[in-house]
Amino acid sequence: MVVPTVLDWAIRGTNGSCSGSVAPACVSEHSYCANATNGDGYLYIDECKEPDRCSTGSRCHDTEGGYYCKCRFPRRGDGKINGKGCHLPKYIVVTLATVCIVIFLVFFVCWYERRKRRRHFNNNGGRLLNGMEIKHFSKKDLDKMTKNRTTMLGEGSFGKVYKGTHKNQPVAVKYSKGKRKLAQTHGKDIKYMNKNMFQNAFCWSKVPSSPQQDSSSRVSGPELVDELRVQSQIQHENVVTLLGCCMETEEPTLILEFIPNGNLEKKLHKDKQHPLSLSQRLDIAIGSAEALSYMHSSSDHQSIVHGDVKPANILLDDKLIPKVSDFGSAELTLKIKLVCGDLDYIDPVFLQTRNFTVKSDVYSYGVVLLELITRKRAKYDDGRSLPVEFVKHYKDNNERRKMYDQDMLSSMDALLQLYCTECLDRIAAITVRCLKNKVEKRPTMAEVVEELKQLREQISTRMS
């Protein structure tokens, strides 16, 4: 049988206590005499004072008869130099690495976006705006204004329009499509596509025959700024007012006054419950014509061609006063080589000559007049062309009058219906002149305004 033996020993002095002398070999600079639990005279050693006990990042704790190392948070391990030491757990390493990467990416994206905004600003000629009375908004202002583009008002060949708020007033923010990109892409398409295959809202440009011509067709920053300067000087009750712009986007973004009642296209063709009266249609026609006449002939600024006259670009306020929009979004001056327009309204002479003039706007306006008196779309009944059909039947009184808006005429008594039909005949005569194939035979917009105003005076006198 094995009997366990417990050895209880101590190094004592001559008097059996710590005050006595002990063997020199048992004394060191890290030991001292203590009254141990088993009696006086033990020689106690603080092992934490010994070198190379605990690794860096841990703290040594002495115990009776030994020691242990405790790693500082968040490290883990036994902390001993000759043991596992202290180390970070894998999940903490992964977390820290992820946080560092995210922070780096955030700073990189912010730096890149700032650099991109600055590049757009310089390319668009933003520095040239200094000293001009044009309010400039930052991209951050646009995002705040439109609440990151939450409410879209419309979309077309020019780009997209969003509703925004500036100084507690509603505004329209127009984000234009890249004019430079359209000039390159569509210019190449025109070489190979048949005209009859083009769809509506196509953008026409002069076809570049070489890289040098392609680069010259780009609209430079100074030209863009000059266009904005011209438009900022436009003050007319029938033209949408430019409130400011942002040059930090790829193409200049325009901030325009908000027109609450939609556009003429929706009012004519979608609002069946509230049809426009003849006098209302005539007022809209006159207001729109006055805007175009002002653009074409005002002495306050250089001549401006709209390039995309159609009902969708004629906005109506709460009093049905027309406001012509889209000046400056794609084609502000005659020197711009890119024309964006809806093929249903584009001048056919332009398709042959590629020469877009103020008389091209007159043709497009003539199509708008046709829609006002017939309440038919420019393309109706499975693709029939309204201007082609109307001109073809113009000399036949019965056929021509069948194309007028019968819903409007049927709501009148017989006498008034006859008079209104005669008024429509006079508007039709103006329309046909606007649609002449020979450009020189088309009237100016100033002449159109004068003739329509005379007609309105006669109607007012007759109705009074």
Task: Give the count of alpha carbons within 13 A of 100, CB side only.
Answer: 6
Domain ranges of the chain: 124-463
- Vertex 214: Cα angle to 208 and 217 (nearest 5): 100
CA distances from 348 to 361, 367, 388, 437 (A): 11, 12, 11, 8
CA distances from 51 to 17, 47, 65 (A): 29, 9, 17
| 111 φψ region: left (φ > 0), alpha (ψ -120 to 50), beta (else) | alpha
List CB contacts of 316: < 8 A, sequence separation 6 or more: 259, 261, 262, 263, 264, 267, 284, 322, 323
| Cα of 171 vs its chain's centroid, Å | 14
Q: Are strands 203-205 and 338-340 parallel, antiparallel or unpaired?
A: antiparallel
Q: Which two tokens stand for residue 389?
A: 């059909």
Q: Where is the binding site for ATP, in residues?
A: 174
CA dihedral 426, 429, 431, 437 (to 10 degrees): -170
Claim: this prediction has a pTM higher than 0.85: no
Residue-wise pLDDT tens for the chain (464 aa)? Answer: 666 655 444 554 544 455 555 554 454 455 555 555 555 544 567 778 877 788 887 888 888 777 889 898 888 888 888 888 888 888 888 989 999 999 999 999 999 998 998 888 888 777 777 767 788 899 999 999 999 999 998 886 667 889 999 999 999 998 877 554 444 444 444 333 333 333 333 344 333 333 333 333 344 556 667 667 767 777 889 999 889 888 888 888 889 999 988 899 999 998 888 889 999 999 999 999 999 999 888 656 567 788 889 999 999 999 999 999 876 433 444 444 345 557 889 999 988 888 888 999 999 999 999 999 999 999 998 889 999 999 999 999 999 999 999 989 888 888 888 999 999 999 999 999 999 999 999 999 999 999 999 999 988 887 76
Catalytic residue among 141, 214, 283, 308: 308
Q: Does residue 62 sit in helix, strand or coil?
A: strand
**In the block, which residue shows the tokens 């009997």?**
3
Residue from 147, 125, 152 nearest 136 by CA: 125
CATH class of 124-463: mainly alpha
Q: Does 308 participate in catalysis according to the annotation?
A: yes
Cβ atoms of 41 and 33 within 8 Å: the answer is yes
Cβ atoms of 288 and 268 within 8 Å: the answer is no
Question: What is the 3-class SS of 328-348, one letter each residue?
Answer: CCCCCCCCCCEEECCCCCCCH
